[in-house]
Structure 1
Amino acid sequence: MTDLAAIILAAGKGTRMKSDLHKVLHPIAARPMLMHLMASVDALNPTKKIVVVGSGKEQLEAALADTAELALQEPQFGTGHAVQQAQGALGSFDGDVLILYGDVPFVPTATMQTMVERLNAPDAPAVVVLAFEPEDPTGYGRVIVEDGRIFKMVEQKDATEAEKAVKLSNSGLMAVKARDLFPLLNRVTDDNAQKEYYLTDIVNIANEDGRICVAVTTEPYTVAGINSRAQLAEMEQAWQQRRRMQAMNDGATLIAPETVWFAWDTQLGRDVLIEPNVFFGPGVRIADNVKIRANSHIEGADISSGCEIGPFARLRPGTVLEEKAKIGNFVETKKAHLGKGAKANHLTYLGDATIGAGANIGAGTITCNYDGYFKYQTVIGEGAFIGSNSALIAPVKIGRDAIVAAGSAVSRDVADGELRMVRAEQLVKPGWADRFHDAMRKKKAADKKV
């Protein structure tokens, strides 16, 4: 194999998105679409990665964080012109070049590999085009193939009626030898309906030179471009459907698959049960035999085997649940580590907290972890019992097997085995309520007579 470079085109203004965020940074499955593509490219270990940018350059610089070189296309005169802007960054590179699009995020690494392998086949094609057959090819450039080679590439607006009847369409993705790419591009003209320099014209020019150009085919999903909010939603749905199927094939039960939403990096073990309306944000790892009940939201959490979550639970980043821990209904956690068998069954907030094995957190308990400026830790020992409606004012430590009585506001450490009760003395006034009600009823009746 020769060295490989990837040129990713991302200079379009994305006007149809109607957004201040660069088009290729809009997320699918909680990951910018460009980063989906870059991950697939990285799996090939390319020598160079060049992203061609235009509008929104600063956003792409920040997102890529020096993981790729940037080449500026300004002004923009078409796809052929865009690829030319990468020539300086490629320098003396003399290997294979993949040409990709930042708004076509789901091209598999294996498909890219197939394109490169076909480029290096014995018949030495000048250009390998990634083609596909959509149900409706309207709007796509057509790939006219005869005897196994590309006879002609033509854009929709320049196609004849016979050419428009061809379903095999151009995805825009190509593989070309670096030594062929720029000499071909230098001969491309803007003699077309759009007055642009089409990348596809290098195929026609190579054909005129007597070179062979070929097509590799793929399914439409892998080359679907995203240019609008509606297309973004369509691709999100398509990605989720595939991920749900993968989850079930891998041994998870999804009671209502269409209501479960995964992030790009969600990890599921076997025999995980997921009830309806569950949403996973990034950074979730779930071990075997976990039950996630309905209407739960989980992000940045590490959940060990045998745990039970929800219903109506929210697990925020930094949550760690050890084996058989339980988070019940209307419980929220953030940077909370629950030991083996610990449980918070209802109506609780646990933030910046460490809860020991077997501890029980009563309903309505909150860790008061923020004073308006800084966050503080709460540590609850193994086997501790926190009574309902307690406020643990951090920083505070509750000892092993300690008991905090219901309704307590604890601001000092509690020793192992200690009972802590923090309540005001109860005041009893017999008959006071009856006298109050009588007085109020008389006053209300007098007001009605006025």
Structure 2
Amino acid sequence: MKIVIAGAGVVGESLCSELSAEGNDVILIEKEEKILNKIVENYDITGLVGNGASYETLLEAGTDTADIFIAATESDELNIISSIVAKKIGTKFTIARVRNPEYSSNMQFVRKELGISFMINPELEAAKSIANKLMFPFALSVENFFGQRAGFISIKVEKDSFLNGMQLKQLEFNPKDKVIICTVRRGENIFIPSGDFTILEGDIVHIAGSKESVHKFYDKIEKSNLKINSALLVGGGTISHYLIGKLLENRINVKVIENNKERAEKLSEAYPKAIVIRGDEADQEFLMQERISNYDATAVLTDSDEENAVITMFVNSITNSKLITKMSRTLLIPMLEKNTRTSAVVPKKVISDMIISVVRSKANMRGSTMSFLYRIENQVEFITFEINENSNAIDIPLKDLKIKKGMLIASILRNGKMIFPGGSDVIKCNDSVMVVTTASSIEDFDDILE
């Protein structure tokens, strides 16, 4: 496919890397020539110096014949304008990154009236991710799929866990409470386990199921039943704006510390039920005065990765609360995760994965449409496909399907009902199917077949 990208920031570079590696014809527009040249040298793409909202620049980039246009600059307004222009001159599908809450509240109007095919908000998606993590305080990651009907979590197996030393085939469930262990990470290796696989202490297991069954299984593993009743947000930026509302909806008491007067006042006006304190987020004495150790959870969300890392290490040293840290880049994450209990959230990676999912779905016109994509360290992908009548897997018992190694059909959603399939189950037209795979560049459900 021909894909034009405007903006050579972290998201733009990530998209260039992955989309070009998957064989797409990628053209990158960037006004800073030095930045553009660096990316063009590293990846198999074409570069064009210019303004992504300029009619002439978009024409020169060939946007009029492009399959997809992605606006990923740092400016919401530029992204919206460039997507509108690209659509008007002939691009089939347009994607715009939009972060401002004022625009996000009108996404449906903007999409319908202005013709932008897909709008994505990294801060909103990050807030959703953080809110999910706080529902499972001991989980390493939490995601929803099948339109929020189902979810999966990752848990580290402790020495005293009932999972330690257990073969998967020994797990017993009531049919309505069944979950599936999709993957197991042991050291540097990731396995898609069979029934004979034995779970050991230190393994990180990824568990999928209906939201209710995942909750029950989580409570069985984590017998402490810790609930998050209070949360301290260090930094009052856009993520905090979205996150406060979600936490208050879940009846969690919220305090926010923000140094900027204007930001603090806006949050206080928008959320009168939250406590907003103006002060230096990096001042350790001030954080102690605000009783940071008394909160069940702390989310470190300032605009600086370096400041977030320092604050995270300080909070980690004085409290056992659930700790979540926002990172704009991935450079510091291994150090933080090795030396603290934090769970890192990278908004730009979240939306990069979402855009890749959309692009792959548009590339595929054969047997299915990709509707969800989640990655684990670029080693495992969790993908949901909407099956149509062209698939070669329809009405064939799963035991008779020749599925490639490193692939697992984890679950099926049919008419609103979750199915954890056995060998006699079949896939029907219009099913939503969750696939777990260690392969990359899977675009169609039938790609898992030999």
Name the TM-score class by shorter chain. under 0.3
> Relative contact order, CA 8 A, sep 6+: which one is greater?
2
Q: TM-score of the superposition, structure 1-length normalised?
A: 0.22
Q: TM-score of the superposition, structure 2-length normalised?
A: 0.22
Which of these two proteins has the greater Rg computed from alpha carbons? 1
Query: Greater helix share, 1 or 2?
Result: 2
